[in-house]
């Protein structure tokens, strides 16, 4: 099966940048572009505090732009909303998002994800004696300032730090993730590329993620009619806790035979999520399959 032989092809690029705006604010921009949409969302967010001060959006291209006017105009009303638990539901309520406006919500969610990648959002200064060659010490510091991370994914599984030495866990994180260098403006950039190739009997979808701490790819082959996963592969090229974060990727094949549908989210979390999983891999799996359902329907 050659990708060049596909009957239909869909591709989306999402690019998010996080920049300092003064000493205690971040300006975050998310650009989403595919063959139908060209959309930019921007927010000014307090650091720390996670409160959106102002927000705006510009829909440059869409099949029916007038159907998005109210949602785009409502982006300014995100001001006052806090990034954190409940953010997605709160944003959807404010924007009045309906199914064909997912492109707007996708960009808004990327803004939140960009903010949460920084570790100075708790407002705690980085200890001068923190050794970035000591993965266990950095992991424990992260938990001390962000206790909500406990059991969210495998590096923060309770008690797993005791295995770091025997596993040879190495840290791949820059110190400026925890606070800007003097005069630093650009903090984080995250790029995503989503693709879908539609064949006569199969669908091939993929997503590539690259940011300052991660680089990974996910590829899925589906039965076109049943949406059953025939083949699935993922590879982490770069992860924050090397020799540990890679482990959930080895379980990805547990999803072979499952079908996209109402129960798929639960299956994904059970297979590669939770305290022994990878939250980024979960996001990729749910995002790429949702993207497919948004751009293509064979019924």
pLDDT values of the chain reduced to their tens digit, one per residue, 299 residues:
666 677 899 999 999 999 999 999 999 999 999 999 999 999 999 999 999 999 999 999 998 889 889 999 999 999 999 999 999 999 999 998 776 678 899 999 999 999 999 988 878 888 889 998 999 999 999 999 889 999 999 999 999 999 999 999 999 988 898 889 999 999 999 999 999 999 999 999 999 999 999 999 999 999 999 999 999 999 999 999 999 999 999 999 999 999 999 999 999 999 999 999 999 999 999 999 999 988 886 44
- Give every CB contact of residue 29 below 8 A, 6+ residues apart in sequence: 16, 17, 40, 41, 42, 111
**pLDDT for the residue 82:** 97
* 10 in Cβ contact with 195 (< 8 Å): yes
* 59 in Cβ contact with 72 (< 8 Å): yes
Tokens linked to 73: 């105009």
* Per-residue pLDDT tens digits for 178-196: 889 999 999 999 999 999 9
Tokens linked to 78: 């995100």
Distance CA 6, CA 70 (A): 36
Residue whose token pair is 């999402």: 14
Distance CA 211, CA 197 (A): 25
Q: Which CATH architecture has domain 16-116?
A: Alpha-Beta Complex (3.90)
Cα-based distances in Å from 236 to 19, 93, 139, 196, 216 = 26, 35, 20, 20, 4
* Per-residue pLDDT tens digits for 41-54: 999 999 999 999 99
213 three-state secondary structure: coil
CB atoms < 10 A from the CB of 234, how many?
Answer: 24
Tokens linked to 145: 């300032």
Distance CA 112, CA 52 (A): 10
* 125 in Cβ contact with 119 (< 8 Å): no
**Residue of 25, 57, 28 whose CA lies nearest to 43:** 28
CB atoms < 10 A from the CB of 27, how many?
Answer: 18
Instruction: Cis check for the bond before 48: say yes or no (omega within 30 of 0).
Output: yes
The residues that bridge with 105 in the sheet, in sequence order, are: none
**Residue of 272, 291, 273, 270 whose CA lies nearest to 232:** 272
Tokens linked to 241: 């806790």
Distance CA 263, CA 286 (A): 12
**Domain residue limits, the chain:** 16-116
**Residue of 105, 63, 65 whose CA lies nearest to 87:** 105
Within 13 Å and on the Cβ side, how many CA atoms surround 130? 19
Return the DSSP state at 87: H
């Amino acid at each position: 099966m050659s990708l060049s032989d596909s009957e239909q092809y869909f591709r989306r690029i999402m690019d998010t940048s996080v920049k300092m705006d003064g000493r205690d604010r971040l300006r975050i921009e998310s650009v989403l572009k595919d063959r139908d949409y060209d959309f930019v969302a921007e927010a000014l967010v307090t650091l720390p505090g996670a409160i959106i001060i102002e927000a705006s959006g510009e829909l440059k291209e869409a099949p029916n732009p007038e159907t998005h006017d109210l949602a785009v105009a409502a982006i300014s009303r995100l001001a006052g909303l806090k990034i954190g638990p409940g953010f997605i539901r709160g944003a959807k309520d404010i924007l009045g998002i309906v199914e064909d406006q997912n492109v707007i919500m996708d960009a808004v969610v990327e803004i939140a994800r960009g903010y949460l990648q920084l570790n100075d959002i708790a407002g705690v200064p980085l200890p001068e004696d923190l050794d970035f060659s000591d993965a266990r010490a950095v992991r424990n510091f992260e938990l001390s300032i962000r206790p909500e991370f406990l059991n969210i994914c495998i590096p923060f599984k309770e008690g797993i730090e005791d295995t770091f030495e025997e596993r040879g866990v190495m840290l791949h994180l820059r110190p400026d993730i925890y606070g800007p260098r003097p005069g630093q403006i650009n903090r984080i950039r995250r790029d995503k590329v989503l693709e879908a190739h539609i064949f006569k009997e199969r669908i091939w979808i993929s997503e590539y993620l690259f940011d300052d701490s991660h680089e990974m790819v996910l590829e899925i082959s589906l039965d076109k009619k049943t949406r059953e996963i025939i083949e699935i592969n993922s590879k982490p090229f770069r992860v924050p806790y090397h020799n540990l974060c890679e482990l959930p990727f080895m379980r990805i094949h547990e999803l072979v035979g499952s079908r996209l549908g109402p129960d798929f989210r639960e299956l994904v979390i059970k297979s590669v999520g939770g305290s022994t999983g990878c939250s980024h891999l979960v996001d990729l799996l749910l995002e790429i399959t949702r993207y497919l359902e948004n751009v293509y329907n064979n019924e």
